[in-house]
A and B are shown apart, each in its own frame.
Chain A
Amino acid sequence: MHRRLTASVLGLLLLLVLATPPLEAHDMRQPIPILLDRMYGVLLLLERGKTDEAIYLIGTVEELLQVKGLLGLTQTVARLDQAYRTTVSDELGRAIVARDAVRLKSVIYSLTYLLMLEKLDLLTAMLPNRDVKPETRKVVMDLARDYFSHIFEETFGRRRPAQIKALEQVLDRMDSAVRQQATLQFEHLRRQLSQALLSHFAAELLPGLPG
């Protein structure tokens, strides 16, 4: 009788342990875009010193996105380069040719930063417009946040917890500003976030990124 009870309790505990997400897992607010998911995969491979595999994965991202009728990685980078007058596309090409893991990581972080910036700029334009549904604004803010969580938070969460925490707090306030349609407050926080990202990750990001 006691054995059965102990086994049941242990079984229940095991189930609870298995059902509880690991502490370092970051909640994604929206379905992960393919590009973001693969960029994270590339970063993981680069962190483990598997540069060739990372470059191969970049090639598969290109194919996968095109098969799904989405813009490829190079097209996305080119679009962002054009919008923000950056040279990430050239840097990506150079990093692949040179098989330079450090530069490739910089490209991924910079691309993530630009993708975040793109969402935040869109929110700046959306916030004064009363016709934009709260649901649409939420999707845009969530995606900006997901890019941060999946790339910056995931990679630097343990190495630089204080900086990540500070940025998270800014993002929390931005979330709230978006919900309240507080345009001026959002704009102020947006600048604060981009400046913090550029200064905290100056060593990882490519030079000349917009603030």
Chain B
Amino acid sequence: MNARALKAPPGLGVLACLVLFGFGELSGALQGSYRQEIRQYAIARAQAHPAVHQLTGVEDIDQVILERVADRSLARVHTFHLHSHGLGLVTIILLAILANMGFSPRTKTALSLWVSLGLLYPFGWLTLAWTLPSLGETAAFQLAERFFFIPFGGAYLLAVGALIVLYAAALLRRWGEPPPP
């Protein structure tokens, strides 16, 4: 990798990161402006599923349970907000590193796609926030885990792991080479 001639990351990858940033911003704005509405919506949906949340029919007890559901739903939206920003930023950096490594264009494209798939992982938090009031926390988490956390989060972890190994291998190779004249 030559610091004097850094290559830009692939345009589509950057666009995907920007889209994720956009969703993150949107969720932040929704959280700020419609906090009460989100809570009320979560409470109303939880009330429609009394067995899931083990509502007792005793008002003060149910109020605590419903408030907790609302808090947790809102907390998941907040986690989506944070993760979408963080992951977007980290992915741009990873794509830039990939673009500047000495791989073949095909390997670079494959690795960039692999890394970019991880951008779908934060939507698991949004799914969790959305389904928690109707499915309950455990079932909602299993759903998010099955469709987002394991496939995309897992893919991202593996991609980062692979990139670390490849980068370290490239460094070692360069270390063994004789210095340029």
Contact = CB atoms under 8 A, between A and B. Distances in A.
Interface stretch (B1-9, B52-60, B86-94): B52-60
Contacts of A122: 56, 58, 61
Nearest to A115: B60
Interface stretch (B24-32, B63-71, B113-121, B146-154): B63-71
Nearest to A70: B59
A118 B62 CA distance: 13
B60, B61, B68 interface centre (most CB from chain A within 10 Å) = B60
A19 interface: no
Given A36-B60, A76-B59, A143-B61, A31 B67 contact: yes
Interface string A133-148: 1001001100100000
Given A132-B54, A133-B54, A136-B54, A31 B59 contact: no
B65 A136 contact: yes
Interface of B: 54, 56, 58-61, 63-65, 67-68
Chain B binding site: helix, strand, loop or mixed by DSSP? helix
A108 interface: no
Contacts of A70: 59, 63
6 contacts: A33-B60, A76-B59, A122-B61, A143-B60, A143-B61, A143-B64
Nearest to B53: A136
Contacts of B65: 136, 139
Contacts of B64: 30-31, 33, 139, 143
B63 A139 contact: no
Nearest to B57: A122
A122 B56 CA distance: 8
Nearest to A36: B60
A183 B64 CA distance: 24
B63 A33 contact: yes
A170 interface: no
Contacts of B61: 119, 122, 139-140, 143
Contact of A140 (B56, B63, B67): B56
B67 A118 contact: no
B49 to A, nearest CB: 14
Contacts of A61: none
B142 to A, nearest CB: 16
B54 A118 contact: no
A57 interface: no
Contacts of B56: 122, 136, 140
Contacts of B63: 33, 70
B136 to A, nearest CB: 9
Interface in A104-122: 115, 118-119, 122
